[in-house]
Amino acid sequence: MNELQLKYGCNPNQKPSRIFMENGADLPVTVLCGRPGYINFLDALNGWQLVSELKKATGLPAATSFKHVSPAGAAVGLPLTDVERKIYFTGSKPLSPLACAYARARGADRMSSFGDFIALSDVCDADTATLINREVSDGVIAPGYTDEALEILKAKRKGAYNVIQIDESYRPAPIEHKQVFGITFEQGRNELDINREMFSNIVTANKELPEKALIDLQIAMITLKYTQSNSVCYVYGGQAIGIGAGQQSRIHCTRLAGSKADNWFLRQHPKVLGLKFKKGLGRANRDNAIDVYIGNDSEDVLGDEVWADTFEERPEPLTAAEKKEWIAQFTGVSLGSDAFFPFGDNIERARRSGVTYLAQPGGSIRDDQVIATCDKYNMVMAFTGIRLFHH
């Protein structure tokens, strides 16, 4: 089959809509369940490329959570810590590496991942399908599904959940096209291989780049390759913990991604872990309540009625001083940027969220200022020489 009719395009008024192969070849995707839409396929195909490259770079199963053609989270399949199990609501049952990757990708920014499209690098197993089944999601793309996993996913949303299988041997043409306002654009595909050599040009006084940081920087840059620009990505322990996408200013990317990274750290604070929710409260409501709780340091965050509807007992506030002290414990975070940092203010903001290692193209007229700011804090920064804009 070389064509698939879609319900509509980006919006319901944009009809007709379809995906198809211009050369008459068969589509490399098969819809196993549901009826994916135009934006679903944009998320699915970008997400698939991202996880494929993560798997190739790290040798580990990978997953990503996509929303509006940018990742909300991306991760590789390292084991979950006890704290991560709690903040990701996975329970105590041992999980497969792929399920761990998905839990970490989804858990990085649970607010943004609400209603996401998932991409998996490996055949979806029952562990992963069970986690997906619990969350509010639009669909999933993977190179295959076990019988048990497919049965679980086909039952989701009363049989309307979107399940796509992709031919992992598919390779697109080296030249790609898109149309804007009736005009066709053509460019070579971004086939850049993001490997360890990209981080060999370390320009700071501190040149100690440990193995974990090398992996995290690869994850950051591969994630940015499929994130709408301008974009910045914070990575810690094999998972993106803060992604700032589609901002017109670099510093706004850094602030946005940094605030998401801070939220991820704060979800692990003992006061947050100790919140006592009402029985039966849904995951989305818990996530909303946690974000509101983290975002305020006053007892007047919510009215008594809302607290009563959410918690078994009114929680003690998490003060600004407590938040600052908690976040300050985290160091060794890696940060990637899809284009150069024009000013040292980006470094100052990144440092507040535990960043120690950075990768960026370089090429600003103020590179010396940016390097000097890194040196002030004994950070390690590599110039990659490669821009990763994605539009």
Residues classed as catalytic? 67-68, 230, 391
CB of 166 within 8 A of CB of 140?
no
| Lookup: tokens for 351 | 């440092």
φ/ψ region of 316 (left if φ > 0, alpha if ψ in -120 to 50, else beta) reads beta
Alpha carbon distance 254, 343 (integer Å)? 12
Strand, coil or helix: what is 324?
A: helix
Strand order in the sheet with 162-166: 29-33, 162-166, 137-142, 116-120, 62-67, 70-76, 239-245, 231-236, 333-337, 355-360, 380-383
- Determine the Cα angle at 165 with ends 16 and 160, to 5°: 60
Q: Strand pairing of 333-337 and 355-360? A: parallel
Using omega within 30 degrees of 0 as the cis cutoff, is the peptide bond preceding 230 cis? Answer: yes
- 10 Å Cβ neighbour count for 376? 12
Provide the H-helix boundaries in the chain.
38-58, 82-87, 97-107, 126-134, 147-154, 211-225, 250-266, 270-273, 283-294, 304-310, 320-327, 345-351, 367-376
CB of 290 within 8 A of CB of 272?
yes
- The values of phi and psi at residue 64, to 5°, are -140, 155
Alpha carbon distance 290, 332 (integer Å)? 25
Q: Strand pairing of 175-180 and 29-33? A: unpaired
| Lookup: tokens for 318 | 């998490």
| Lookup: tokens for 251 | 């510093």
CB of 379 within 8 A of CB of 357?
yes
CA atoms within 13 Å, Cβ hemisphere of 363: 11
Alpha carbon distance 77, 95 (integer Å)? 10
Strand, coil or helix: what is 6?
A: strand
Alpha carbon distance 338, 155 (integer Å)? 40
